[in-house]
């Protein structure tokens, strides 16, 4: 698969994430060009080794749109329209996906969201190992071209990230729950404590490690948050409603002296937190799964999001063409322990899977 | 002041906190005896060097009640009643104060709350440096005997902690805001995410560092939390109401597209979080403040909580008797930079303060 990899990438917007992608690709031998709305920043990117050159690259086969969320659709459409016959794959890194994917609406555009780097800001915070071990969400749809997806998956795996495929709308709900709403909650807790502390400076000296941990994310610059909240408002409002509802139940249980309710909730949460998967990946044994697929829309999205639903990590993905006309074969590289779950789930959806062991991933 | 220190302490309840107090005092040359509702645990405490002996100690001049919160009042009353003529000072370490202080109601009882060790559990987690640099709240009232308070302050300073004096009811509001409600919120966020993840295991792989930080405290055993929430229910319900209200305003601002509201809140919170005082103490220059005080109830509480309100750390406190009959002198050792604020505040309340520099604290 490595031999098929394109070796030229274009990065639009060289902030923290765009800059880190550039560094990571160049460290792996790629030629990377890029541009930025701030000319000085693009020049700086060349100076510090993030880019080989400032400017467009007609030969780039992968284009990362890493601008603020509000410019993604425009920039993606522009890159796709500039080279209409090309098979270049265009992706983005914005924290909200459904609206963008729907607006761009192109087989060679795959929405993406690397779950990394949210607390730092700016090009000078960029580093080439930022994505090693990180989860990188891709949001294929029925319209997604399988070859474009496979190429992007390979590039992102090259950066060291674990790709998880999730439908765009579900991605937005999930990040509202594990990122946006927690961030807002941290800010609200910090703001309430600080308001009380205006009359009582002693308050903040009583804040121990737990409070510091809980409010750490609130220290970041507001930056893109109002924009993210606007883009993902529907999911965030839904999740804020659930949070309010849960807090209100806690309030009522405390007010009425119902200790049992509280014990059960704290017990469930404790167990769930202790089981929260660590970012350190286990040593995987890998298998190759070959999945013959019909040549119809949505097959790629169905197979990859089925894996995502099961928490099965796809380390690599390739499209092989079978001899029999209108069919192809998806070749997935996955963790051996997870493969039987995936095989069963795909079987239930009518796919026939052949699985063979591979050597251990380094 | 060191020469005046008592050298015998009694600890009732040798869990994490009681055990750490025992270790810390013995490391500093004290003779420490203690008891526990679990006889085996008291024996174990002797084995691992937390206690010199199991049992009561009529000569102990400081008694730490470190039992679960529900037993504190009974144990404190028992210790005070056993030696009615004694000047022993009795304190506790429970996370809720107003109800306990009101119920014990004795001049030689001073409520206490060391802000340390909340995430670990059990005697075997005890260590003698647990309180170094930690904030230790004491809750003197109008009834508190100044000599008892001064002796306790010295002992706690000896353990390396910074004493902050706060009225009991205010303490309860403050810990609801910076400890109890944040803990409940972390558990609720973890529980909501985990419930959603039952159908979608992929969810928890999207949880990045911010979510991990925010939910870390939820990993602890429910343990004493239902009891704490019950004991501090009034303050917790009040603060949960404020939190719900703030979250609801955020919800409405997002729903109505009011980015300005969100920007301002996030900006305030960011600034407040960056200014959250670190636990690492600066190198202090110290001064001695001598405050002549009338011999009336409440003076000690007024002076110490005035310092607490201003965030002024009292490193040591002594009661000296003046020559002029019914007056005394409070001798406070405080940070030089903070002394003028405290002097001004005490001046406004009618105290005349004489301040002289001391050598730098090591």
Q: For residue B121, what pLDDT is reported? A: 65
Question: Which residue among B188, B219, B247 sits closest to A188, beta carbon to beta carbon?
Answer: B247
Determine, yes or no, domain membership for A200: yes
Q: Which of B117, B272, B309, B314 to mutate to test the interface with A (most CBs of A within 10 A)?
A: B272
Q: Nearest chain B Cα to A185, which residue? A: B247
Closest Cα in chain A, distance from residue B8 (Å): 29
With CB atoms and an 8 Å threshold, state whether B243 touches A212: no
With CB atoms and an 8 Å threshold, state whether A216 touches B221: no
Closest Cα in chain A, distance from residue B42 (Å): 28
Which range marks the domain in which residue B262 is found? 171-274
Helix axes A181-197, B233-255, angle to 10 degrees: 120
Contacts of A230 in chain B (CB under 8 A): 254, 257, 259
Q: Nearest chain A Cα to B116, which residue? A: A208
Helix (H, G, I), strand (E, B) or coil at A302: helix
CA distance B243 to A302: 41
CA distance A261 to A134: 36
With CB atoms and an 8 Å threshold, state whether B162 touches A205: yes
Q: Which of B134, B139, B171, B270 to mutate to test the interface with A (most CBs of A within 10 A)?
A: B270
Question: Which residue among A162, A164, A218 sits closest to B269, beta carbon to beta carbon?
Answer: A218
Q: For residue A244, what pLDDT is reported? A: 97
Residues ≥6 apart with Cβ < 8 Å to B69: B94, B95, B96, B100, B224, B227, B228, B231
Determine, yes or no, domain membership for A215: yes
C-alpha distance from residue B167 to each of A73, B111, B180, B301 (Å): 57, 10, 18, 8
Contacts of B310 in chain A (CB under 8 A): 201
Helix axes A146-158, A299-309, angle to 10 degrees: 40
Residue A269: which of B184, B121, B225, B244 has the closest Cα?
Answer: B184
Residue B50: which of B10, B32, B25, B23 has the closest Cα?
Answer: B23
Q: Is A196's pLDDT higher than 80?
A: no
Contacts of A190 in chain B (CB under 8 A): 269, 272-273, 276
pLDDT of B307-340, one tens digit each?
Answer: 888 878 787 777 765 444 446 778 888 888 888 8
Determine, yes or no, domain membership for B279: no
The answer to whether residues A236 and B207 touch, using CB atoms and an 8 Å cutoff, is no
How deeply is B187 buried, as exposed, middle or buried, from its count of CB atoms within 10 A (0-12, 13-18, 19+)?
A: buried
Radius of gyration of chain B (CA): 22
Q: For residue A263, what pLDDT is reported? A: 94
* One domain for residues A7 and A156: yes
Q: For residue B323, what pLDDT is reported? A: 43
Phi-psi region of B71 (alpha: psi -120 to 50; beta: other; left: phi over 0): alpha
With CB atoms and an 8 Å threshold, state whether B178 touches A310: no
* One domain for residues A240 and A296: no
With CB atoms and an 8 Å threshold, state whether A263 touches B226: yes
Fill in the DSSP letter of residue A92: E
Determine, yes or no, domain membership for A188: yes
Over range A280-301, report the average pLDDT.
Answer: 72
Closest Cα in chain A, distance from residue B82 (Å): 33
A275 vs A91 pLDDT, higher one: A91
Over range B4-9, report the average pLDDT.
Answer: 74
Phi, psi of A13 (to 5 degrees): 100, 100
* One domain for residues A302 and A244: no
Give me the DSSP letters along B117-136: -TT--SGGG--TTTTTT-EE
pLDDT band at A321 (very low <50, low <70, confident <90, very high): low
Residue B88: which of B56, B113, B134, B52 has the closest Cα?
Answer: B56
Over range B43-60, report the average pLDDT.
Answer: 95
* One domain for residues B12 and B149: yes
Q: Which of B117, B119, B223, B251 to mutate to test the interface with A (most CBs of A within 10 A)?
A: B251
Closest Cα in chain A, distance from residue B279 (Å): 8
* One domain for residues A37 and A101: yes
Domain boundary among B143, B166, B189: B166
Contacts of B115 in chain A (CB under 8 A): 206, 208
Residue burial B35-67, b: 16+ Cβ < 10 Å; e: rest = bbeeeebbebbbeeebbbebebbeebbbbbbbb
Structure tokens at B204: 């928890």
* One domain for residues B132 and B181: no
Residue B211: which of A245, A216, A127 has the closest Cα?
Answer: A216
CA distance A72 to B13: 61
pLDDT of A330-349, one tens digit each?
Answer: 888 888 888 888 999 999 98
Q: Which of A93, A189, A304 to mutate to test the interface with B (most CBs of B within 10 A)?
A: A189
A128 vs A277 pLDDT, higher one: A128
Q: For residue A201, what pLDDT is reported? A: 64
Residue B204: which of A198, A197, A175, A102 has the closest Cα?
Answer: A175
* One domain for residues B135 and B176: no
Structure tokens at B263: 């920007």
Determine, yes or no, domain membership for A13: yes
Q: Nearest chain A Cα to B164, which residue? A: A202
* One domain for residues B17 and B123: yes
* Length of chain A in terms of residues written: 362
Closest Cα in chain B, distance from residue A228 (Å): 10
With CB atoms and an 8 Å threshold, state whether A259 touches B203: no
Q: For residue A206, what pLDDT is reported? A: 75
Tell me the sheet residues that pair with A355: A289
Closest Cα in chain B, distance from residue A86 (Å): 32
CA distance A293 to B186: 44
Question: Which residue among B182, B226, B233 sits closest to A214, beta carbon to beta carbon?
Answer: B182
CB-defined contacts A:B, below 8 A: 318
> How many domains, in total, are found in chain B?
3
Q: For residue A233, what pLDDT is reported? A: 94
Tokens 């003028």 locate to: B340
Structure tokens at A258: 């119902």
Closest Cα in chain A, distance from residue B43 (Å): 30
Beta-carbon count within 10 A of B302 CB? 17
Give me the DSSP letters along B234-299: HHHHHHHHHHHHHHHHHHHHHHTT-HHHHHHHHHHHHHHHHTSPPSSPP---EEEEEEEEES-TTH
Residue A192: which of B212, B180, B252 has the closest Cα?
Answer: B180
With CB atoms and an 8 Å threshold, state whether A206 touches B179: yes
With CB atoms and an 8 Å threshold, state whether B210 touches A179: yes
Closest Cα in chain B, distance from residue A352 (Å): 24
Q: Nearest chain A Cα to B272, which residue? A: A194
Contacts of A231 in chain B (CB under 8 A): none
Contacts of A201 in chain B (CB under 8 A): 309-311
Closest Cα in chain B, distance from residue A334 (Å): 15
pLDDT band at B37 (very low <50, low <70, confident <90, very high): very high
For the ranges A206-210, B100-104, B117-121, B240-244, the lowest mean pLDDT is seen at B117-121
* One domain for residues B175 and B143: no
- Sheet with A162-165, edge to edge strand ranges: A53-54, A31-35, A8-12, A62-65, A89-92, A109-114, A135-139, A162-165, A314-321, A327-335, A286-294, A354-357
Structure tokens at A86: 């090309």
Q: Which of B170, B206, B231, B308 to mutate to test the interface with A (most CBs of A within 10 A)?
A: B206
* One domain for residues A105 and A209: no
* One domain for residues A20 and A59: yes
With CB atoms and an 8 Å threshold, state whether B226 touches A135: no
With CB atoms and an 8 Å threshold, state whether B246 touches A119: no
Residue B282: which of B244, B249, B239, B313 has the closest Cα?
Answer: B313
Residues ≥6 apart with Cβ < 8 Å to B100: B69, B72, B73, B76, B92, B94, B111, B168
Closest Cα in chain B, distance from residue A83 (Å): 33
Q: Is A204's pLDDT higher than 80?
A: no
The answer to whether residues A79 and A71 touch, using CB atoms and an 8 Å cutoff, is no
pLDDT of B161-209, one tens digit each?
Answer: 989 899 999 899 988 998 899 999 999 999 998 887 676 666 677 776 6
CA distance B339 to B224: 39
Q: Is B342's pLDDT higher than 50?
A: yes
Determine, yes or no, domain membership for A304: yes
pLDDT of A34-81, one tens digit each?
Answer: 999 999 999 999 999 999 999 999 999 999 999 988 899 999 999 999
Query: CATH number of the domain that A36 lies in?
Result: 3.40.50.720
Query: CATH number of the domain that B262 lies in?
Result: 1.10.3660.10
Closest Cα in chain A, distance from residue B75 (Å): 24
Domain boundary among A120, A138, A166: A166
Determine, yes or no, domain membership for B362: no
* One domain for residues B6 and B143: yes
Q: Which of B96, B178, B220 to mutate to test the interface with A (most CBs of A within 10 A)?
A: B178
Determine, yes or no, domain membership for A281: no
Domain boundary among B138, B166, B194: B166
Mean residue pLDDT of chain B comes to 86
Over range B262-284, report the average pLDDT.
Answer: 76
Residue B280: which of A197, A195, A212 has the closest Cα?
Answer: A212
Contacts of B251 in chain A (CB under 8 A): 237, 240-241, 244
- Sheet with B135-139, edge to edge strand ranges: B53-54, B31-35, B8-12, B62-65, B89-92, B109-114, B135-139, B162-165, B314-321, B327-335, B286-294, B354-357
CA distance A60 to A58: 6
Beta-carbon count within 10 A of A360 CB? 10
Write down the pTM of the prediction: 0.71
Tokens 């309840």 locate to: B13
pLDDT band at B5 (very low <50, low <70, confident <90, very high): low
Mean residue pLDDT of chain A comes to 86
Q: Nearest chain B Cα to A308, which residue? A: B202
Helix (H, G, I), strand (E, B) or coil at A216: helix
pLDDT of A235-270, one tens digit each?
Answer: 999 999 999 999 999 999 999 999 999 999 999 998
Contacts of A241 in chain B (CB under 8 A): 251
């Amino acid at each position: 698969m490595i031999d098929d990899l394109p070796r030229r990438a274009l990065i639009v917007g060289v902030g923290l994430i765009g800059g880190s992608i550039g560094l990571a690709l160049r460290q792996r031998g790629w030629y990377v060009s890029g541009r930025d709305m701030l000319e000085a920043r693009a020049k700086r990117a060349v100076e510090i080794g993030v880019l080989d050159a400032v400017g467009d690259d007609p030969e780039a086969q992968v284009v990362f749109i890493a601008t603020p969320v509000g410019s993604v659709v425009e920039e993606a459409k522009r890159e796709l329209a500039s080279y209409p016959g090309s098979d270049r794959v265009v992706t983005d890194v914005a924290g909200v996906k459904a609206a963008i994917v729907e607006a761009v609406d192109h087989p060679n555009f795959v929405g993406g969201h690397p779950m990394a780097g949210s607390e730092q800001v700016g090009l000078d915070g960029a580093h080439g190992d930022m994505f090693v071990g990180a989860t990188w969400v891709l949001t294929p749809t029925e319209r997604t071209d399988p070859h474009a997806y496979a190429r992007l998956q390979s590039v992102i795996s090259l950066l060291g990230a674990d790709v998880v495929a999730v439908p765009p709308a579900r991605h937005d709900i999930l990040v509202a729950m594990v990122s946006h709403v927690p961030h807002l909650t941290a800010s609200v807790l910090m703001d309430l404590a600080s308001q009380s502390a205006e009359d009582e400076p002693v308050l903040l000296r009583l804040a121990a490690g737990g409070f510091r941990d809980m409010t750490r994310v609130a220290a970041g610059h507001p930056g893109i948050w109002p924009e993210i909240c606007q883009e993902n408002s529907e999911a965030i409002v839904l999740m804020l409603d659930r949070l309010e509802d849960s807090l209100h139940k806690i309030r009522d249980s405390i007010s009425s002296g119902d200790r049992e309710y509280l014990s059960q909730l704290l017990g469930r949460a404790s167990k769930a937190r202790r089981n929260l998967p660590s970012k350190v990946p286990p040593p995987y044994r890998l298998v190759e799964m070959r999945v013959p697929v019909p040549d119809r829309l949505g097959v790629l999205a169905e197979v990859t999001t089925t894996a995502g639903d099961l928490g099965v990590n796809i380390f690599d993905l390739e499209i092989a063409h079978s001899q029999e006309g209108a069919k192809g074969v998806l070749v997935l590289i996955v963790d051996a322990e997870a493969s039987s779950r995936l095989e069963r789930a795909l079987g239930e959806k009518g796919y026939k899977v052949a699985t063979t062991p591979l050597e251990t991933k380094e």
